[in-house]
Chain A
Amino acid sequence: MNVSRFISQKSYERIVSLVRRHPITFVPYIFGWLVLLAIPVILYWLANALFPTLLENQIVWPLAVLFASIYWLSVCLFFYSYFVTFHLDLLIVTNDRLLDVEQKNLFARTIAEMDLYQVQDITSTVNGFFPSIFNYGNVLIQSAGAIPNFTIHDVPHPDKLRQEILDLSAEDRKYHEQK
């Protein structure tokens, strides 16, 4: 299955771009993941230092290994689930509409849609130290349609995206006026 089927792409529709949050916004989670992975190692070191004979016990050792294994596998699973949520949170720009796919968690997703010809105003903001350095920010799209506002968070090159959507919107508006 590809994105075309996922969004029920129309016959005349062309996917212009897929926009995700800037990868740099995922880096803090990688650091958090590494810290969580290190906790059993620290506990092992502490247990060896404070209670040197504890882990030599024939019952404590296998239980400690099983517990550590469960902990590490769980941390990996939570990290991967978060990555999938992050990865599936995307804006699909076509020559006809904007689709905001928001993956809230593993079992909850919302897809909001906005016709390009209904776009009224677009504002892009880059706010903060890291957003300024890595050039990412928010894009607020206002429309005359059923969904009045659309905010896309932490997208790379927000000014470029704003211009791209404005150009596509102008093209789509011309097409709808001719009809």
Chain B
Amino acid sequence: MIAVPIYLFLFAYFFFLFVWLIFMLINIAHLVNTGTLTFGSFVATFTVLSLAVIILWATWNLLLGTDWQQTITVWNNSWISDLFRLQQFAA
């Protein structure tokens, strides 16, 4: 049986946030470097960043109180052995 603590998923989430932030910065750098900052680009940037802040805030609030030491079973040999047992039963 292989069981992993769920904080591993949290670390994966932080890694995703890091990659996400890099891509957002590349997008903003494109707008700044080409000198094409307009009201439209400001509205789009403001909307997306505001939404991202709300998503992060909601994620933080919904995950408060979570026990990250809990484990989740990602593999169990019995899943396969039970399968054969079920087939024998069916036969």
| Residues on A facing B (Cβ under 8 Å) | 1-6, 18, 23, 58-59, 61-63, 65-66, 69-70, 72-74, 76-77, 79-81, 83-84, 87-88, 90, 101, 103, 106
Q: B58 — nearest CB in chain A belongs to which residue?
A: A69
A-B contact count (CB 8 A): 93
Question: Beyond A66-B13, A80-B44, is A106–B6 a contact (Cβ under 8 Å)?
Answer: no
Q: A23 — nearest CB in chain B belongs to which residue?
A: B40
Q: A103 — nearest CB in chain B belongs to which residue?
A: B30
Would A79 and B48 count as touching, CB distance under 8 A?
yes
Would A76 and B34 count as touching, CB distance under 8 A?
no
- Give the contacting residue for B20; candidates A3, A59, A73, A84; CB below 8 A: A73
Contact with A along B55-74 (1 / 0, CB 8 A): 11011001100111010100
Would B35 and A5 count as touching, CB distance under 8 A?
yes
* Across-interface contacts of B55 in A (CB, < 8 A): 69, 72-73, 76
Question: What's the dominant secondary structure at chain B's contact region?
Answer: helix
Would A106 and B26 count as touching, CB distance under 8 A?
yes
| Residues on B facing A (Cβ under 8 Å) | 6, 9-10, 13, 16-17, 20, 23-24, 26-27, 30-36, 38, 40-41, 44-45, 48, 51-52, 55-56, 58-59, 62-63, 66-68, 70, 72
* Across-interface contacts of B62 in A (CB, < 8 A): 61, 65
Would B36 and A59 count as touching, CB distance under 8 A?
no
* Across-interface contacts of B44 in A (CB, < 8 A): 80, 83, 87
8 A-B interface contacts by CB (under 8 A): A6-B33, A65-B62, A66-B59, A72-B51, A73-B56, A77-B23, A81-B23, A87-B40
- Give the contacting residue for A59; candidates B6, B26, B31, B35; CB below 8 A: B6
CA–CA, A65 and B62, complex, Å: 7
* Across-interface contacts of A18 in B (CB, < 8 A): 36
Would B13 and A76 count as touching, CB distance under 8 A?
no
Q: B17 — nearest CB in chain A belongs to which residue?
A: A73
Would A69 and B33 count as touching, CB distance under 8 A?
no
Would A3 and B56 count as touching, CB distance under 8 A?
no
Would A63 and B70 count as touching, CB distance under 8 A?
no
